[in-house]
Every structure is written in structure tokens, then in C-alpha cells.
Amino acid sequence: MSASYREVNYALRPAKSVERKMLVDVFQRLSAFDDIHNYRYIGFGSIYFSDFLLFHRTLGFTKMLSIENTRTTDEQDRIKLNRPYGFIETEFGHSSTVLSKIDFGNDRTIGWLDYDSKFSKSIIDDLSTFLSKAKSGSVYLASYNIQDIAPPPGVTVGRTPEERLEIAIGEENKIYLPSNWKTLLVGKIRAKLFAAILKNKADEILIRRNGPLEEQNKLNIYPIINILYRDNAQMATFGFVIYSNREKELCDNANFLSLPFAKSTVDDYFEITLPNLTFREIRHLDQNFRSQTEQPWLPLPQSDADKYWKLYRYFPHFVETEL
Amino acid sequence: MAQEDPLVVHASPTKEFFITILIRDIKLIDAICDLIDNAVDGARRLRPAANLKDLFIEIDASKDSFIISDNCGGIEVTVARDYAFRFGRTKETPNSPHSIGRFGVGMKRAFFKIGSIINIESVAETSRFKMNIDVNKWISPDNKDKDGREQWDFSFAECQEGIENPVKNRQTIVSITSLHPTIAAEFSAPTFKNKLIAAIESAHSKAIENGLRIRVGETDLSLRQISLLNSDSIKPQFTTTHYQKDKSVSVRIYAGISDQVLADCGWYVFCNDRLILQADRSQLTGWDSESGDIDTPRAHYQFARFRGYVFFDSDDAGELPWNTMKNGVDEESSIYQATRLLMINAMRPIIDFLNSLDNELQADTSPLKTIVDNAKPIQLKDVEQRQTFLGPTAAQIQQTAPKEGRISYTAANEKLARAKELLNVTSNKAVGEATFYYFLRANGDE
């Protein structure tokens, strides 16, 4: 994992901030399973801990763990210094090692594995570890860079997108490729490819895990999120809920799909596109809430207004201020 | 003989075919271990409390004969008559709890593998018998029953039922002569005895630990203790999982580190305390995918300390994931597949720790090695329940990341020569270094 917090100041990523707020809405619905503040939250907080801050304030989690892959004590100290709340625990090391060490106990767990890097084998491995232990009512989310960049001239490996994909996911994971994978190699639809790989892997893990379990305890996955967004690099977030047969009704009651950005299939994604609007324009649109479909009196392209309405509740507001 | 019905199509097996297939894939040592398994099962039935002291199994194998005798309870006439000599188990075949014998084939398979004249004497609780099997006569086409069909049954030479035999008289003695030539040759090989001893010691370490005396020739087998390193900073994982679907199965996983011996490293799998998989380092136990990113031979040596032990236990041996030869795992068993996920999780923190230990070789100090050297081996029975392996944390040691990495690649000799010319160097190593630093300087680095 690269230390991308040194490249992009996380606090200023508008699309990411929209995504974060959307996830608050997702997590709130988990109260269909259990008291939401009983959940454990696991994430990669970096030094900003933006997700930790938001989720504790809105949802009240007190069991929170941040994993960072840094071995030097200086960086570890910096991360610990920046924890917004004292109860946030930190574990340092590769996500695959830390995840395999954590005892999930009886806690339902939300894991938002927000990788900086491109999609790779280790993301698939981490899914495997998380899913081998997660209890019913848990949520898995992974965010990753979906870009595909050709290597510089002179490098002999990875000259085609197919080759680069095979190198990234590793020989043993090729069985999880969807049958149409060759059509999903270029552009934004790569988000569909990676979502499909993760879902196929998840299905297989559960088949193995379910084998010796009683019928009521067998687990299923319910995909709810496939979000495309871009602040710097083109990123995607794929996520699903895990539920047992016994708790199927609770999952249905949570009604995740009523959220406007939810997607229950890997063949589709919701793209966050943010129009640039001034405060005055936003206020005007909000005041004319009822006429979302036409804005004849504003000198704004309709498409910008449409983009706004698609995610107006999550729209970020940035102000410069002296603190 | 009755008139043959012209519509009848003969489909019954021939004895010759049957024996050939039966003994084809089983190795001699595994076949002998099957006989030991039956005796150990007998021992466990006699002593449910598990103390097997004063019980013994003795084996003598030479080019002329193979003899196995034990005092583990004998075989009852009713069992011999209706179950023990059938090929396969029926629904009525009694099950002993926590047994090893499972498929109803091990004893006969071993007999046929070893030789052609088999004598069995048994004294059990309420009966005794003697039996002689002459395999060649049994196979012969002249051996027909009263309907003129192939005779599959054996017969007792003597048998007595409804008597009382005290425990100390109960025994089973099997002696096989007219050994098959290849078997006789194997028995004569100087290394055979040691291989057999090693196999039985591993397979039945638990029974030996519980006091069972097993002797091969003149040698009494000894206990192979399993131990894992333990200290305040290093603790093995020990977890137990219970599955309650149809029958109850419990799975214990121990994972940790031990001596740096590559041949011993890997996963050991036991079913009802019988070892079936030893020092496995393959995909089967999830091993390959974990160390898969590294491909130098030395790199595999760095995992030589890893030890994982999985114990599957059930009163119904049929629920456990073993193959028919008890020398491997039934990969398709759902319990095994679920457990394999847990085994992979168990391995990760240990592999991570062993990598750190290995990286220390390039650093100036070796605090991790000191911690490992100060840890003491403890036996599995003394390991405490622990969710995951504990290795020293960064807080306990000043962890230094390796400062250097190795870059290595090949290039066409023509181009290599040209580069040497341009850079004014003579060695390949110098070309690598010069081009690397050239690139960095060109990008503003120093």
C-alpha cells in the first residue's frame, strides 16, 4: 500500500466525501439486524481518519479498528497521534495478516477496506479472510483503483490489458473471472469486472464455509454497492451484506435497495459525478425542490441540475476558513 | 444345477479381479498400519478411559512370514462370522465410538496384500475361534457353493461360543505365510523396519502416549512428542470449532513455530487421533497460496519453523475427512473445506512473523531471533486456548524495515555489451547499478 495520504489531502476529496455520506445511509439500515452501535467497524484510517470521525458521530460505533501497513515507528506514532477518539484501536501490518489475527467474536462487523492501490490478488485474499469469519449482519466493502496503465516501453511483461489483469490477480484467481471478462477490460466498466471477481470469490468461500453448517446458519451475500467515483484516479467501491438463512427477513426489512445509489448486481454501477455549483445555485435548486425535472429560470445546463439531484443529500460543501 | 435363465446377464465380480483392484494402490506400510488401526480400536474399546497401559501389539516381518499379535480384546465369533470378513460395512455393522476402522476393507486388504496363507486365532470376551484362509484355494474356480456359484465365504476351523474369557487371555494372533515375492523382498530390505516404525510412531502417537506398547521385531516404538515454542512473547494458536449438523464433529487447530527443520514443517492432520497427513506444504492445506509470492529456493527455508496440527474428532468415523487408505485427506469433504479456510487464517500471522525473522538477517541486530531462542517447547496438551498466534509486537522490539532490496533481470548480450561500452564499466552488476542511479538522477533524485 502506498502512502497516498502524502499525495492527496484526503480531507479535500469531494467525491470521496459524497461516498462516505452515502455509506452512513447504508449502515443506518443495519439496525434491522441489531443496535447499530454494537457493530464493530474496521477500516484503513490513514492519518486523517475521516471515515472513523463521520461514522462515530453519525452512528455511534465505539468498537473501531484502523489497520495501516506501516512498519516504521515514526509513521505509527504519527497515526496514533491523529486518532480522533481514544477508543479507536490501531493495528499495524499488512491487511491480510491483521485481518487473519482479529477475533471477530460474536460481533457483527463492518469492514470498509479502502485500498489506495490498484485491484490485486491481495484484495481477493483479504475478502477471503474477512468472509471466512464474518457473522450474519456484517458488511464488506472494498475500494480500489480501477485504472489500467500500460507499462513504459522496454518492459516486456504486461503489454496487454489481459496480461496485466492476469498478473494483478494471480494464476489461482483466474477461475473467478466472469465469462465476459474480455469485454470488461477497458474504461469505467472495469468496475463491473472487479465486482464480479469479488462476488465469485465470495460465493465460493461461502460454499466451503456453509458445508458443515445447519441450514438455518448457512450464510449468503447480498450485493448492495458498486460505486464509481473520481477525485484523482478512477476508483470503485464494491460491497455486500452477509446474512444467514435465519436472518433473511431482517435483511429484507433493511430495504437496502430503496437507497437511490444501491445496486444489487455486479453488472451495474452508480457513478458519482459532481457538478460545480455555487452556494447561490445550490440554494436556488433546493428551494425549487419540487421541480427537479426542469430548471428554465437558471442559466445552468440541465445536466448539471440532474447531477445535483442524483445526490443532493450528500452534496459536499467546502468553505475556506481560518481556524 | 437349475436351468440357467437365458435373460440373466452375469455381473458378479470375480475374486481375482477383486483382489487385484483391492491391493493395487495400497502401499505395504499403509496396509500394515490398517491392521494396527484395528488393534488400536480394540484397545480403545477395552479401555474407554483411554489408559492403554499393559496392552500391546507386536509385529514380526521376515521373508518367510508376517505375524501380528495383540492383547487388545480379540474378535468375537459373531463379529467374525457376520461382519469382519465381509468386504465393506453394512448398515448393521456395529460402530465403535471414536473409531479409526471405517471402511470395512482394511483387514482383508492387508491380508491379501501380504501373502496367500493366513491363519487367525482369536480369544475374545465370550468366544474363541481359529481360521485358516488359503487364498489360492479360495480363488480357485473349483471353489463353488451348493448352487454352483463362486463361493465367497470363508469358514472357521474351530469355534466356541458362550464361554467366558478373562481380559488377560483375550488376544488376536494373525500369521501370514506364503508371502508374495515382492512383499518378502520388501520385508528383507534393511530399511524396511525403520520405515515401518516411523510410520506407526507418527500414525499412533496418541495411543503410544496413552501407554500402548507397540513392538516391531526387537524394537519397542517410542513416543513422538509434538511440541510448539512458547514464551511470554510467542504463543501458539489453539482453537476449537464444533459442527453439529448430523453428527457432532469437533475440530482442534494448533498452529505455531518449532525447530528450523524443513522436512518437518507444514500441516499435520489427524482423524480420531490417527495421523493421516504429515508435514504437508501444498495447496491441499492452503499452503502454496500463502507463500506463493516468493520464488527463490532459500525463501522456502524461511518457513521451516512452521507447524500446524489439525485434529478432527467424532464418535462417527464416517463424518471425518479421510480417504480410504487413511494416508490422506478427502478433499471434497465439506468439513475439511470449511476447516481449510481456518487453517489459512491460522497460517498468515505465522508466515508474516517468519518473514520478519528472515528479514532480520539483513539488519544489524536480531531481537526477534533472541526472542525465538528464549522460547521453550511445550507439549500440545499444555497449550492454552488462544484465538491467533502471538508473535512479538513492534512495541516490544525496535523493528527495522530492511534497507535494501534486490533487483534482478536479464538482457540481450548485444545490448548488454553496448551498455557496458557507454557506461565504461566491465561487470553486469555495474551496469545494473549505473543504469538505476542514472535513471534516478535524471528524475531529480540523488
* Chain segment B135-184, per-residue pLDDT in tens: 999 988 888 888 877 788 899 999 999 999 998 899 999 999 999 999 99
Q: What is the mean pLDDT of residues A237-247?
A: 97
Q: Is B279 left (phi over 0), alpha (psi -120 to 50) or beta?
A: left
Quote the pLDDT of residue B298. 40
Q: What is the mean pLDDT of residues A85-96?
A: 91
User: pLDDT-based confidence at B295, cuts 50/70/90?
Assistant: very low
**Which residue's C-alpha cell is 531471533?**
B369
Is some CB atom of chain B closer than 8 A to the CB atom of A100?
yes
Quote the pLDDT of residue B148. 78
Q: Average the pLDDT over each of B94-103, B158-167, B290-299, B411-420 and give the range with the smallest value.
A: B290-299
Return the bridge partners of A227, or none.
Answer: A237, A270
Nearest CA in chain B to A93: B352
Is some CB atom of chain B closer than 8 A to the CB atom of A72?
yes
Do residues A235 and A145 lie in contact, with contact meaning Cβ atoms separated by under 8 Å? yes
Q: What is the pLDDT of residues B221-246, one digit of tens each?
A: 988 888 999 999 899 999 999 987 76
Is some CB atom of chain B closer than 8 A to the CB atom of A213?
yes
Distance in angstroms (rounded) separating the CA atoms of residues A219 and A208? 11
Is some CB atom of chain A closer than 8 A to the CB atom of B240?
no
- Sign (positive or negative) of CA dihedral A92, A97, A101, A103: positive
Quote the pLDDT of residue B197. 93
pLDDT for B275 beyond 80: yes
User: pLDDT-based confidence at A231, cuts 50/70/90?
Assistant: confident
Measure in Å the smallest separation between the Cα of A106 and chain B Cα atoms.
Answer: 13
Q: Which residues of A touch B244 (CB under 8 A)?
A: 214
Nearest CA in chain A to B237: A101
Do residues A226 and A196 lie in contact, with contact meaning Cβ atoms separated by under 8 Å? no
Measure in Å the smallest separation between the Cα of B333 and chain A Cα atoms.
Answer: 8
pLDDT for B290 beyond 60: no
CA distances from B293 to A57, A91, B287, B290 (A): 41, 23, 12, 8
Nearest CA in chain B to A213: B245
Do residues B341 and A205 lie in contact, with contact meaning Cβ atoms separated by under 8 Å? yes
Distance in angstroms (rounded) separating the CA atoms of residues A40 and A58? 14
Is some CB atom of chain B closer than 8 A to the CB atom of A212?
yes
**Which residue's C-alpha cell is 528524475?**
B443
Q: What is the mean pLDDT of residues A97-107?
A: 87
Q: B402: which residues sit within 8 A by CB, 6+ positions away?
A: B359, B362, B363
**Which residue's C-alpha cell is 471515515?**
A51
Quote the pLDDT of residue A156. 82
Mean pLDDT score of chain B, rounded to an integer? 86
Please name the residues between 346 and 365 in chain B that touch chain A, using a CB distance below 8 Å. 346-349, 352
Distance in angstroms (rounded) separating the CA atoms of residues A26 and A28? 5
Distance in angstroms (rounded) separating the CA atoms of residues A311 and B31? 70
Distance in angstroms (rounded) separating the CA atoms of residues A48 and A279? 26
Strand B306-314, strand B266-271: pairing:
parallel
B interface mutation test: which of A76, A101, A206 has the most B CBs within 10 A?
A101
Q: What is the pLDDT of residues B76-123, one digit of tens each?
A: 998 888 888 887 777 777 766 677 766 678 888 999 999 999 999 999
Q: Which residues of A touch B341 (CB under 8 A)?
A: 128, 132, 205, 208-209
Neighbour-count burial of B436, counting CB atoms closer than 10 A to its CB (0-12 exposed, 13-18 middle, 19+ buried): exposed
pLDDT for B405 beyond 60: yes
What count of CB pairs under 8 Å joins A to B?
A: 69
Nearest CA in chain B to A70: B401
Measure in Å the smallest separation between the Cα of A207 and chain B Cα atoms.
Answer: 9
Closest residue by Cα to residue A111 from A241, A22, A222, A5: A241
Q: A1: which residues sit within 8 A by CB, 6+ positions away?
A: A44, A68, A69, A95, A115, A116, A117
Mean pLDDT score of chain A, rounded to an integer? 89
Quote the pLDDT of residue B173. 96
Do residues A169 and A121 lie in contact, with contact meaning Cβ atoms separated by under 8 Å? yes
Q: What is the pLDDT of residues A14-62, one digit of tens each?
A: 899 999 999 999 999 999 999 998 999 999 988 889 899 999 999 999 9
Please name the residues between 299 and 318 in chain B that touch chain A, using a CB distance below 8 Å. none
A interface mutation test: which of B239, B241, B245, B407 has the most A CBs within 10 A?
B245
Nearest CA in chain B to A129: B345
Q: Which residues of A touch B249 (CB under 8 A)?
A: 212
Q: Does the beta-carbon distance from B387 to A103 stay under 8 Å?
A: yes
Q: Average the pLDDT over each of A194-208, A276-290, B201-215, B420-434 and give the range with the smallest value.
A: A276-290
Do residues A189 and A171 lie in contact, with contact meaning Cβ atoms separated by under 8 Å? no
Do residues B35 and B105 lie in contact, with contact meaning Cβ atoms separated by under 8 Å? no
For residue A97, give the nearest of B244, B337, B352 by CB distance: B352
Quote the pLDDT of residue B418. 92
Strand B249-257, strand B266-271: pairing:
unpaired
Distance in angstroms (rounded) separating the CA atoms of residues A56 and A45? 13
Q: Does the beta-carbon distance from A73 to B244 stay under 8 Å?
A: no
3-state SS record for chain B: CCCCCCCCCCCCCCHHHHHHHHHHCCCHHHHHHHHHHHHHHHHHHHCCCCCCCCCEEEEEECCCEEEEEECCCCCCHHHHHHHHCCCCCCCCCCCCCCCCCCCCCHHHHHHHHHEEEEEEEEECCCEEEEEEEEHHHHHCCCCECCCCCECCCCCEEEEEECCCCCHHHCEEEEEEEEECHHHHHHHHCCCHHHHHHHHHHHHCHHHHHCCCEEEECCEECCCCCCEEEECCCCECEEEEEEECCCCCEEEEEEEEECCCCHHHCEEEEEECCEEEEEEECCHHHCHHHHHCCCCCHHHHHCCCCEEEEEEEEECCHHHCCECCCCCCECCCCHHHHHHHHHHHHHHHHHHHHHHHHHHHHHCCCCHHHHHHHHCEEEEHHHCCCECCCECCCCCCCCCCCCCCCCCCCCCCHHHHHHHHHHHCCCCHHHHHHHHHHHHHHHCCCC
Do residues B74 and B123 lie in contact, with contact meaning Cβ atoms separated by under 8 Å? yes
Q: Does the beta-carbon distance from B349 to A100 stay under 8 Å?
A: yes
Is some CB atom of chain B closer than 8 A to the CB atom of A152?
no
Question: What percent of chain B has a predicted confidence (pLDDT) above 70?
Answer: 90
Is some CB atom of chain B closer than 8 A to the CB atom of A73?
yes
Q: Following DSSP, what letter does each residue of A207-256 receive, concatenated?
A: HHHHTTS-GGG-EEEEEEEEEEEESSSEEEEEEEEEEEGGGHHHHHHH-G
Q: What is the mean pLDDT of residues B126-139?
A: 93
Question: What percent of chain B has a predicted confidence (pLDDT) above 90?
Answer: 44
Nearest CA in chain A to B345: A100
Q: Select the more confidently predicted residue: B216 or A48.
A: B216
Cβ burial A106-142 (10 Å sphere, 16+ → b, else e): ebbbbbbbbbbebbbbbbbbbbbbbbbbbbbbbbbbb
Distance in angstroms (rounded) separating the CA atoms of residues A170 and A163? 10
Is some CB atom of chain B closer than 8 A to the CB atom of A3?
no
For residue A72, give the nearest of B292, B348, B401 by CB distance: B401
Instruction: Give the CA count within 13 Å in the CB-facing half-sphere of B189.
Output: 11
Is some CB atom of chain A closer than 8 A to the CB atom of B401?
yes
pLDDT for B311 beyond 90: yes
Q: What is the pLDDT of residues A153-191, one digit of tens each?
A: 878 888 899 999 999 998 889 999 999 999 999 999 999
Q: Does the beta-carbon distance from B349 to A208 stay under 8 Å?
A: no
Distance in angstroms (rounded) separating the CA atoms of residues B118 and B80? 15
Is some CB atom of chain B closer than 8 A to the CB atom of A234?
no
Is some CB atom of chain A closer than 8 A to the CB atom of B386?
no
Q: Which residues of B touch A209 (CB under 8 A)?
A: 338, 341
Measure in Å the smallest separation between the Cα of B342 and chain A Cα atoms.
Answer: 7
Q: Which residues of A touch B388 (CB under 8 A)?
A: 100-103
Is some CB atom of chain A closer than 8 A to the CB atom of B398?
yes
Q: Following DSSP, what letter does each residue of A54-113 receive, concatenated?
A: HHHHHH---EEEEEE---SHHHHHHHHHT-SSTTEEEEES-HHHHHHH---TT--EEEEE
CB atoms within 10 A of CB A171: 11
Q: Average the pLDDT over each of A60-74, A78-92, A297-311, B113-127 and give the range with the smallest value.
A: A297-311
